[in-house]
A = this chain, B = another copy of it.
Amino acid sequence: MAPAVLLLSGGLDSTTLLAYALDEGFDVHAITFRYGQRHATEIDAARRVAKHFGVRDHVVVDIDLRTFGGSALTSDTLAVPKDRDVADLEHGIPITYVPARNTIFLSFALAWAEVLNARDIFIGVNALDYSGYPDCRPEYIAAYERMANFATRGGVEGTNPIHIRTPLIDLTKAQIIALGLSLDVDYSITQSCYDPDATSAACGHCDACLLRLKGFAEAGSRDPAPYAAGAR
């Protein structure tokens, strides 16, 4: 089985991505980041998901993006927006955008891929739901892949070219959920919420919850993950 590095947050997208990569026959090395996110319980979700799927190995890397600030996701003082109109989520860069986050995440994945001699790096970016995130677009991914093949020995020599794989990039949230359900993903163990309560129950009102609930509704299914009382 070919080794692959996969960015795993424990959310809906990256868990579906993991099921897809395993179904494709990859030997998955999962990587999760404790980056100062306020919803750090997603790391518990990532551990649950990695264990559930029995991946080859799973590392949690500590990086403190609070050093630079600039995002509600890494701030105790900037509020996570609630109950925005879902149609608005498709426009502009929200305050929950973390500067250069995907670039940093992919760069750690690239380091691990180089050590493992892995050619494939999986990332669950999705261009449709957040067209405003610059680092979720196909053009960005293509430019990253091109850079990665100048950065590594295997890329330069052509012996081990890097391929950034984004199978979810053109899917709607409903299509991602349908893909996951077809692969028997148990979404009850995943966590997407930016602002969960002390029991890790989802708030139901942040952008991530709104998009997730809309996706399940459009997929004709019910989200089995725990939500706070009255959250939906």
- Measured in the bound complex, the distance between the Cα atoms of B152 and A98 in whole Å is 10
- Measured in the bound complex, the distance between the Cα atoms of B103 and A151 in whole Å is 7
CB distance from A207 to the nearest CB of B (A): 17
CB pair A64 B64 closer than 8 Å? no
Dominant SS among interface residues on chain A? helix
- Measured in the bound complex, the distance between the Cα atoms of B62 and A104 in whole Å is 13
Q: Which of B102, B111, B151 contacts A134 (CB 8 A)?
A: B151
Q: Which of B61, B70, B106, B110 contacts A67 (CB 8 A)?
A: B61
Taking CB atoms, residues of chain B closer than 8 Å to A137 are: 150
A42 contacts chain B at the CB level, 8 A cutoff: no
Binding stretch for chain B, among A13-21, A140-148, A170-178: A140-148
A114 contacts chain B at the CB level, 8 A cutoff: yes
Q: Which of B99, B106, B114 contacts A114 (CB 8 A)?
A: B99
- Measured in the bound complex, the distance between the Cα atoms of B145 and A150 in whole Å is 12
Q: Which of B99, B108, B143, B144 contacts A115 (CB 8 A)?
A: B99
A83 contacts chain B at the CB level, 8 A cutoff: no
Known: A62-B64, A111-B65, A146-B146. A151 touches B102 (CB 8 A): yes
**A149-167 Cβ-contact flags toward B at 8 Å (1 or 0):** 0111101100000000000
- Measured in the bound complex, the distance between the Cα atoms of B140 and A111 in whole Å is 15
CB distance from A62 to the nearest CB of B (A): 7
Known: A69-B115, A143-B146. A93 touches B153 (CB 8 A): yes
Residue of B nearest to A61 (CB): B67
Taking CB atoms, residues of chain B closer than 8 Å to A110 are: 99-100, 103
- Measured in the bound complex, the distance between the Cα atoms of B110 and A206 in whole Å is 27
* CB proximity to B under 8 Å, residues A102-148: 102-104, 106-108, 110-112, 114-115, 134-135, 137, 139-140, 143-144, 146-148
Q: List 7 A-B contacts (CB under 8 A).
A: A62-B64, A67-B112, A99-B152, A100-B110, A134-B152, A139-B150, A143-B143
